[in-house]
A and B are shown apart, each in its own frame.
Chain A
């Protein structure tokens, strides 16, 4: 029995990470019908932000170092939120009503982010910012001209290679002068480690077993995030607007709700939540450019099982998937069916982390036979619900 309870707690703690990661995804998917394949990479960015904040706080010494988590959480939220905002304004906005294309485009963004983290260095940053200043600056200046629409294509054809060339040459020139301090990648392709502050090490003794504080911290963080999102969605004016657009976009637009602003805001918040999730994930193990990839499929499954109608769907789905994964993976049911050899063999076959995923996927597919739109579907009378 204690094994089962232990499994339950471990499952909940896995589920809480999943939930934290899936929360932003679910809100965005509910509102815009868009699956953000770069969500995992935004998490990875949050984790790297935590790493950077930690390195800034390290020289400050003991009392301050313990507090870096709070700064890191806030920083991760805002960094990823701003990235999400750029992503929405720069790409997704143009792909309205084409969810499959959006999926591909965000995958492209995720590839770029992965490689960016690997090879980001001062040289790259200088080149990129120079390019942005040159290209977008000239475009804004030229946009004031009256005949801009007519010359736009020409401007693009000339300006794009020109600014790329200037930025590239200046960056390589700077790299040639200052050598290694400028050209060395910040993080490189290796994984980086985030050390938890002193008060998060160790664990809480519960009977025979020990519950690590980091797990409890993540559980608490998840609860705080859910409460925060819930309050925001149900108690604030913008939350009301978000819910309205989620339910019926055309009608909301007719009633004067600025749907584009709502989209941008929601996407930013969803990305910010990914950043917080990334911050949490960084305490569970080392962080690398591919960290995000480990989470995307599981978080998508949470969205599929939970449905997009209510927040509670994501919560139940995440916990259910987490617990199911854990119970099947550790063969916690094994002792109960030991008397039936066939069943015992069956459960033993699935008793490791990767085979548990196989079983959980089969369960999800069979669940979708009864509830195709998830646990809490969006209610409505349209055919294309």
Chain B
């Protein structure tokens, strides 16, 4: 009985949400490219496609940071691994017996063993998701098992990132080192990846995968698992005392988020013409976190919005005033953390409406006006908060 009522109550918003998601998706799919092309900014369509891919990473980060309270500073690693997995497959689209051109530069005669499975397309697709997931699960298990968390975990993920960066950078003979793998001159199904048709398909794929990632995250965070994740974020010890072992859940959500990053990396690499260890830069991984922070922690829509907004402002600002971008980004970090801890969407949800009203001169509704407007009480609220 109770369940039936609950189901009815929940059905409405779900329906609305579904319609909303489909509407926005259709808008991005058909309206956005047309509008951007009409404005003479055709290159921005490709940019938007890449940013949609980045929004998938932002969803993953939101899952672990916004919902579970794990701050990973190493998601660039999983992103890059996904990109490499796809790029390796694309590099192997050659006539029988030929090697990708960079191998001959370093005098390598035979394909290294770990390249061989990437001849197969299904394997490569699986690898873009499962290789990052496996590495994340292994790292996560080894770290979470020992109840290492908080800042320690963040630093360790950052160190892992740097370690892989060093590895990829120094192995010219295996994966072309610093130069990375170029994909736009490679062929997929006998068409150049850089050609307009493939790029259009990739744009659509980005939208589709973003929706799938959104649905997955929505499903993960809505049910009992979602509540458990939030409980782990808010008080892990108490979760442990009530009989759960948080390790498994944390490993799971970390791996899922790494898998999302892997997909995003593959889509990004194919749309930006290649992948190189540069995406394993420390700064890039921390930037991913700020996308989520700007949009709103623990809000999936916020993560997507944040990723797209921050990246567009980055490309516009660094085109116009390259000097200002780092100042702006640093300031963004500071403001978001101090003034808007829940991001834009969080602000809208909690106090945004009130603040806008009070700025417009309307009084806010007060439960105890005499108490709330007392300067002494206000002073204490401002200064004696512990």
> Which residues of A come within 8 Å of B, CB atoms?
29, 33-35, 91, 94-96, 98-105, 107-112, 114-116, 118-119, 146-147, 149-150, 153, 157, 293, 296-297, 300-301, 303-304, 352, 354-355, 357-358, 361, 364-365, 368-369, 372-373, 383-384
Instruction: Using A104-B337, A297-B158, A369-B146 as known contacts, say yes or no to A119 and B375 having CB atoms under 8 A apart.
Output: no
> In the docked arrangement, what's the CA distance between A281 and B351, Å?
48
Known contacts A94-B338, A369-B142; A99/B151 CB under 8 A:
yes
28 cross-chain CB contacts under 8 A: A29-B151, A33-B151, A34-B151, A94-B338, A104-B333, A105-B333, A105-B337, A108-B337, A111-B327, A112-B330, A116-B327, A119-B323, A146-B375, A149-B378, A149-B382, A153-B358, A296-B282, A297-B155, A300-B155, A300-B158, A355-B166, A358-B163, A358-B166, A365-B139, A365-B156, A368-B146, A368-B148, A372-B147
Residue on B nearest A116 in the bound complex, by CB: B327
Give the nearest-CB partner of B325 in chain A.
A115
**A residues less than 8 Å from B326 (CB atoms):** 111-112, 114-115
Q: Which residues of B contact A (CB under 8 A)?
A: 65, 69, 71, 139, 142-143, 145-148, 150-152, 154-156, 158-160, 162-163, 166-167, 169-170, 237, 282-283, 286, 289-290, 293, 323, 326-327, 329-334, 336-338, 341, 358-359, 375, 378-379, 382, 386
Min CB–CB distance B172 → chain A (angstroms): 12
Tell me, in angstroms, the Cα distance from A91 to B293 when the chains sit together.
17
Q: Bound complex: CA of A358 vs CA of B334, how far in Å?
A: 32
Contact status B282-A91, CB under 8 Å: no
Bound together, the chains give a CA A94 to CA B341 distance in angstroms of: 12
Query: Which B residue sits closest to A370, measured CB to CB?
Result: B146
Asked if A103 and B162 make an inter-chain contact with CB atoms under 8 angstroms apart, the answer reads no
- Find the B residue at minimum CB distance from A35: B151
Residue in B154, B163, B327, B379 whose CB lies within 8 Å of A357: B163
Q: CB distance A109 to B170 under 8 Å?
A: no
User: What's the dominant secondary structure at chain B's contact region?
Assistant: helix
User: Are A304 and B155 closer than 8 Å at their CB atoms?
Assistant: yes
Contact (Cβ within 8 A) A368 B143: yes
In the complex, A29 Cα to B77 Cα: how many Å?
26
Say yes or no: A352-B293 contact (C-beta < 8 A), given A94-B338, A101-B337, A304-B152: no
Q: Are B333 and A293 in contact (CB under 8 A)?
A: no
| Closest CB in chain B relative to A301 CB, distance in Å | 6
With a cutoff of 8 Å between Cβ atoms, the chain B residues found around residue A153 in the complex are 358-359
Identity of the chain A residue whose Cβ is nearest the Cβ of B386 in the assembled complex: A96
B100 to chain A, nearest CB (A): 22
A33 partner residues in chain B, CB cutoff 8 A:
150-151
- Known pairs A108-B332, A111-B330, A383-B237; A100 contacts B155 (CB<8 A): no
B282 to chain A, nearest CB (A): 7
Nearest residue in B to A359 (C-beta to C-beta)?
B163
Q: Which residue in chain B gives the minimum CB-CB distance to A112?
A: B330
Q: What are the residues of chain A within 8 A of B142 when measuring CB–CB? A: 365, 368-369
Q: Which residues of B contact A34 (CB under 8 A)?
A: 151
Interface centre among B65, B169, B326 (most CB of A within 10 A): B326
A358 to B168, CA, bound (A): 11
**What 6 A-B pairs come out closest when comparing CB atoms?**
A108-B333, A372-B146, A354-B166, A112-B330, A115-B326, A111-B330
Q: In the complex the two chains form, is A109's CB within 8 Å of B334's CB?
A: yes
CA distance A293 to B162 in the complex (A): 11
Name the residue in A297, A352, A364, A384 with the highest tally of chain B Cβ atoms < 10 Å from its Cβ.
A297
Q: A95 to B379: give the CA distance in the assembly, Å.
A: 19
Task: Tell me, rounded to whole Å, the shortest Cβ–Cβ distance linking B312 to chain A.
Answer: 19
With contacts A94-B338, A368-B143 known, what are 8 further pairs, Cβ within 8 A? A105-B338, A108-B329, A110-B330, A149-B379, A297-B159, A365-B139, A372-B147, A373-B148
